[in-house]
Amino acid sequence: MTLMATEIAEQPEVLERVLRDVPPQLAPMVARLRATSPRVVLLAARGTSDNAALYAKYLVETVVGLPAGLASPSAMTIYGARPDLRNVLVVAVSQSGGSPDLLEVTQAARASGAVTLAVTNAPRSPLAAAAELHLDVEAGEERAVPATKSYTAQLLALWLLCTAWGKGDLTAAEGLPVAADAMLMRSADPADELAALLAGADRIVVSARGFAYATACEAALKLMETSYVAAHAFSGADLLHGPIAMVAPGEPALAIVPRGAGGAAMLPVLDRLRAAGATLAILGDRGRHAPSWSLSLPPVDEALSPILQILPLQLTALRLALARGTDPDLPRRLSKVTLTR
Amino acid sequence: MTLMATEIAEQPEVLERVLRDVPPQLAPMVARLRATSPRVVLLAARGTSDNAALYAKYLVETVVGLPAGLASPSAMTIYGARPDLRNVLVVAVSQSGGSPDLLEVTQAARASGAVTLAVTNAPRSPLAAAAELHLDVEAGEERAVPATKSYTAQLLALWLLCTAWGKGDLTAAEGLPVAADAMLMRSADPADELAALLAGADRIVVSARGFAYATACEAALKLMETSYVAAHAFSGADLLHGPIAMVAPGEPALAIVPRGAGGAAMLPVLDRLRAAGATLAILGDRGRHAPSWSLSLPPVDEALSPILQILPLQLTALRLALARGTDPDLPRRLSKVTLTR
């Protein structure tokens, strides 16, 4: 049993812990956010945490009602930019809390007047200490290099935070641990089938819109990290603005199509992918298509659905890695904490 | 002669026109921006224009001194989010000014209190009419589907705007048309050589940091659109946080390494790519590496360098398309104006 397999399987239990241990952290945090009422939210992260930040961006815009953007650390870390950040909330997301660039961004942002929030899986990390506010995602120690349980814990912790901040109903997430357990059980065979479909693939396009775009990015990253496939994630709209040209007949394309507005917006993208002759795999609503692979999604709220969507795709990356004889726990050239500036 | 070749060759002349016709547009625009003094800048765009927006993000952060982020239209267009945008500048960048999603974002942002700026190559477009402010990039009609001259015109127009807004020296750009002409002349043979190097490639990694990251994204998009290569752009830092695992020995990797802090930050990335056994191509400073292909960059300011960096890479995409027998002017499945929501 690989560490990655163990950590994938732990997720229902992790989500249960998040639901239990994160809400008590939120009251003072939300009080502080309401008191300072930031005008805008900027998110900074790398790797898997960047995909959690992308998810959070949609939450901030739709649930909190504030504009949000993804910031690149390099403006501050490379060029030394020190923009005026009064009335800005800067959120750094990092599993390890050890990335030097995010630490520098957080310190500089705090000095420039921002309210700073670190979202980590490491409450005693430098990043957690540097930020004014800290949200512990409670995933437990993660040992496989490819992040799995820390990602879903980040998503749920960020959902809880944004929902509490936006005065929404936290109980909507109550069923997630059971749903995640069911999704993992139901995904075992389909993940094998999707891995078999991708066995000979050197490249794959992964596409989604809205909340599920984070799933597309994270699924692509997992496939790149563990199976060395050139997995390319595009928002459905961006795909049609150029990259659709490169999709070759027979090339695999994976689309995530949850119930809701984001899924509905994927329908023209599915038509274009089919017209391009792609070998279509659909996670979610297959509509009037007859894809080469499909797996339905449970009928949860679209904003919560990414927490379940990624599960079969983590399993697929794992199975494909094992089929290819690579070590999913320790992909070549990677280590658990990446030090970049 | 293809339209794309013609439009690539026109760029020195286009840059000259931008330098002549854009500065007179700026005074009222800058006055309005200073009077409203937005707290943050959000940029929205698709395709090539999105890469120009990425470039502008770094300019806003470093030259104007305001925080900036890339916004995804879908929060507004798909989910109907209407965040409070008072004191926010929303910039929509679009060659055609005809993309329905950007039009909707601009209209909604204006209604939500934002100062809105459209940056287009079409002063009579719906987008230009919808925004409070309009910056005409003066590229002239662009007929090839892959954007070339409109991209460099967007970069220079955005540089002029941000530099004027940040009270910088506009004359620093004076030499660009001559430098672009020299760069194109000097690029003819190297572009053929790089196209030959990529002839058999099915995938390629393109990487850069800071301002040049926009070049990496745009070069990848050009290769995808015209030559159907799975060209994958990563910021150097993001590459090390996972995707580096997928780089196979002998696989081509193109790095953009200008003089300056962004180029210097690429040195550890070059080491990692070399250790992975990638076939290295370097645009800029090859340092202590002996890459399979290299082309030096002229010693212009790092913030202006992207306007020159993209020229040999546009030519490479063109030559590779011709070598592969595809039509660079009309890539399969694409049209000049893409209508997405």
The whole-number pLDDT of residue A338 equals 81
Which residues from B are below 8 Å from A276, CB to CB? 332-333
Instruction: Using the structure block, give the residue that is written with the tokens 């940091």.
Output: B209
Q: Which residue in A has a C-alpha nearest to residue B66's C-alpha? A: A83
Which residues from A are below 8 Å from B226, CB to CB? 245
The whole-number pLDDT of residue B71 equals 85
CB B182 within 8 A of CB B295: no
Which residues from A are below 8 Å from B237, CB to CB? 46, 73-74, 101, 340-341
Q: Is B248 close to A228, i.e. CB distance below 8 A?
A: yes
Nearest to A71 by CA among A108, A27, A126, A111: A108
Question: Distance (Å) from the C-alpha of residue B210 to the closest C-alpha of chain A?
Answer: 6
Q: Is A67 close to B79, i.e. CB distance below 8 A?
A: no
Q: Is B39 close to A87, i.e. CB distance below 8 A?
A: yes
The whole-number pLDDT of residue A67 equals 93
Instruction: Using the structure block, give the residue that is written with the tokens 């997430």.
Output: A173
Instruction: Using the structure block, give the residue that is written with the tokens 């794992």.
Output: A318
Q: Residue range A120-147: average pLDDT?
A: 97
Which residues from B are below 8 Å from A111, CB to CB? none
Instruction: Using the structure block, give the residue that is written with the tokens 């941000």.
Output: B162
Which residues from A are below 8 Å from B39, CB to CB? 39-40, 84, 86-88
Q: Residue range A201-213: average pLDDT?
A: 96
Nearest to B139 by CA among B295, B291, B12: B12
Q: Is A225 close to B232, i.e. CB distance below 8 A?
A: no
Side chain identity at A297, as an amino acid letter? L
pLDDT tens per residue across span A13-72: 999 999 999 999 999 999 999 999 999 999 999 999 999 999 999 999 999 999 999 888
Q: Residue range B48-74: average pLDDT?
A: 94
Which of A 65-84 lie inside 8 A of B, CB atoms?
A: 65-76, 78-84
What is the sign of the dihedral through the CA atoms of A96, B273, B231 and A253? negative
| Whether complex ipTM tops 0.85 | yes
Question: Distance (Å) from the C-alpha of residue A11 to the closest C-alpha of chain B?
Answer: 21
Which residues from B are below 8 Å from A235, CB to CB? 72, 74
Question: Distance (Å) from the C-alpha of residue A19 to the closest C-alpha of chain B?
Answer: 26
- Checking if the pLDDT of A336 tops 90, the result is no
Which of B 82-101 lie inside 8 A of A, CB atoms?
A: 82-88, 101
CB B259 within 8 A of CB B284: yes
* B333 interfacial to chain A (CB closer than 8 Å): yes
CB A231 within 8 A of CB A203: yes
* A265 interfacial to chain B (CB closer than 8 Å): yes
- Kindly report the length of chain A: 341
- Checking if the pLDDT of B256 tops 80, the result is yes
Between A and B, how many residue pairs show a Cβ–Cβ distance under 8 A? 230
Output the 3-class SS for chain B.
CCHHHHHHHCHHHHHHHHHHHCHHHHHHHHHHHHHHCCCEEEEEECHHHHHHHHHHHHHHHHHHCCCEEECCCHHHHCCCCCCCCCCEEEEEEECCCCCHHHHHHHHHHHHCCCEEEEEECCCCCHHHHHCCEEEECCCCCCCCCCCCHHHHHHHHHHHHHHHHHCCCCHHHHCCHHHHHHHHHHHHHHHHHHHHHHCCCCCEEEEEECHHHHHHHHHHHHHHHHHHCCEEEEEEHHHHHCCHHHHCCCCCEEEEEECCCHHHHCCHHHHHHHHHCCCEEEEEECCCCCCCCEEECCCCCCCCCHHHHHHHHHHHHHHHHHHHHCCCCCCCCCCCCCCCCC
- Checking if the pLDDT of B339 tops 90, the result is no
Percent of chain B clearing pLDDT 70 (strictly above): 100
Which of B 36-65 lie inside 8 A of A, CB atoms?
A: 39-40, 42, 46-48, 50, 57-58, 61-62, 65
- Checking if the pLDDT of B338 tops 90, the result is no
How many C-beta atoms lie closer than 10 Å to residue B332's C-beta?
14
Comparing A210-214, A239-243, A336-340, B113-117, the range with the smallest average pLDDT is A336-340
- Checking if the pLDDT of B84 tops 80, the result is yes
Which residues from B are below 8 Å from A248, CB to CB? 228
Which residues from B are below 8 Å from A70, CB to CB? 69-70
Q: Is B71 close to A73, i.e. CB distance below 8 A?
A: no
The whole-number pLDDT of residue A308 equals 98
Which of B 225-254 lie inside 8 A of A, CB atoms?
A: 225-226, 228-230, 232, 235-238, 240-248
Q: Is B74 close to A265, i.e. CB distance below 8 A?
A: yes
Which residues from A are below 8 Å from B243, CB to CB? 221, 224-225
How many C-beta atoms lie closer than 10 Å to residue B328's C-beta?
26
Q: Is A75 close to B83, i.e. CB distance below 8 A?
A: no
Which residues from A are below 8 Å from B86, CB to CB? 39
pLDDT tens per residue across span B273-312: 999 999 999 999 998 899 999 999 999 999 999 999 999 9
pLDDT, chain B, mean:
95
The whole-number pLDDT of residue A101 equals 92
The whole-number pLDDT of residue A62 equals 94
pLDDT tens per residue across span A151-199: 999 999 999 999 999 999 999 999 999 999 999 999 999 999 999 999 9
* B115 interfacial to chain A (CB closer than 8 Å): no
Q: Give the end-to-end CA distance of chain B in Å, rounded to a whole number.
A: 35
Which residues from B are below 8 Å from A331, CB to CB? 245
Nearest to A248 by CA among B324, B265, B35, B241: B324
Q: Is B237 close to A74, i.e. CB distance below 8 A?
A: yes
A86, A203, A247 ranked by CB distance to B203: nearest: A203
Strand partners, B41: B68, B89
Q: Is A241 close to B340, i.e. CB distance below 8 A?
A: yes
Question: Distance (Å) from the C-alpha of residue A262 to the closest C-alpha of chain B?
Answer: 6
pLDDT band (50, 70, 90) for residue A8: very high
**Angle between helix A213-227 and helix A305-324 axes, rounded to 10 deg:** 20
Question: Rounded distance, CA B19 to CA B135, Å?
Answer: 13
* B224 interfacial to chain A (CB closer than 8 Å): yes
Q: Which residue in B has a C-alpha nearest to residue A226's C-alpha? A: B245
Q: What share of chain A is helix, strand, coil (3-state, %, to 5)?
A: 50, 15, 35
Q: Is B235 close to A74, i.e. CB distance below 8 A?
A: yes
pLDDT tens per residue across span B41-50: 999 999 999 9
Which of B 6-25 lie inside 8 A of A, CB atoms?
A: none
Q: Residue range B179-192: average pLDDT?
A: 98
The whole-number pLDDT of residue A334 equals 86
Largest CA distance in chain B: 55
Q: Which residue in B has a C-alpha nearest to residue A261's C-alpha? A: B78
Q: Which residue in A has a C-alpha nearest to residue B331's C-alpha? A: A245
B76, B203, B245 ranked by CB distance to A334: nearest: B245
- Checking if the pLDDT of B341 tops 90, the result is no
* A206 interfacial to chain B (CB closer than 8 Å): no
